[in-house]
Amino acid sequence: MIVETHLHTFFSDGLHSPLDMARRVKSLKLNGFAITDHDTVKGQKAAKIAAKQLKLKLIPGIEVSSTDGHVIGLFVEKEIPRLSAAEVVELIHEEGGIAVAAHPHCRFRSSVGDLIKTVKFDYVETFNTRVPWIPDNWKTQGIAKEMNLKGIAASDAHAIEEVGFGTTRVKDFGDFENGKAKVASARWTGPWLIGYGKFRRFLRKNKLY
């Protein structure tokens, strides 16, 4: 099963509705998706309806603006206060969720950086297609390899055209909990090597970055 773990809608700073994003996921023949709007779960009701309508798996989620940088909570259905990264991760775990460090070393956004070495994240985004400076992803990948941190991919899509550039492979959602979620290699290599320039031009043209 291949899923999108990091999507935004117009309930935060995305351009499209949860239904639009779900339709795009379906058109790409992906199996599921997570809506992770910034500091809100208001889009989750619409996302659930869309997922049911399109026969897709849904991961409820949120991207929390912690005081240290952005933190993703997967399988979280309530809003999390903007505390430190460590406190946010603890609250996500209390809700039974999975804590992910979003774009950890992206120098152009609020990122937790080297806190991935000490804060108890379940996963780190070792591949985020919205990181405009490629070495920032490489830095995260290097630290993850050195410290044996678990990595997943993320499109971090704010528009339907961005969906599918970075995806994660799981047998089922239980893989997230037992640490077996992995970057889907087919999506990880192709768009990165071939489509990255086109993708960046799209972002600049539409003033999405």
CATH label of the domain that carries residue 69: 3.20.20.140
Q: Which residue has the tokens 């990264």?
A: 85
Cα–Cα dist 166/186, whole Å: 9
Model confidence, pTM:
0.87
pLDDT at res. 133: 83
Instruction: Provide the domain limits for residue 175.
Output: 2-205
Cα–Cα dist 96/85, whole Å: 17
Q: How many domains does the chain have?
A: 1
Per-residue pLDDT of the chain (209 residues; tens, 9 = 90+): 999 999 999 999 999 999 999 999 999 999 999 999 999 999 999 999 999 999 999 999 999 999 999 999 999 999 999 999 999 999 999 999 999 999 999 988 899 999 999 999 999 999 998 888 888 999 999 999 999 999 999 999 999 999 998 999 999 999 999 999 998 833 433 334 334 455 555 656 666 55
Please give the span between the terminal C-alpha atoms of the chain, in angstroms, as a whole number: 30
The distance from CA 25 to its chain's CA centroid, rounded to whole angstroms, is 14
Q: Are 162 and 199 in contact (CB under 8 A)?
A: yes
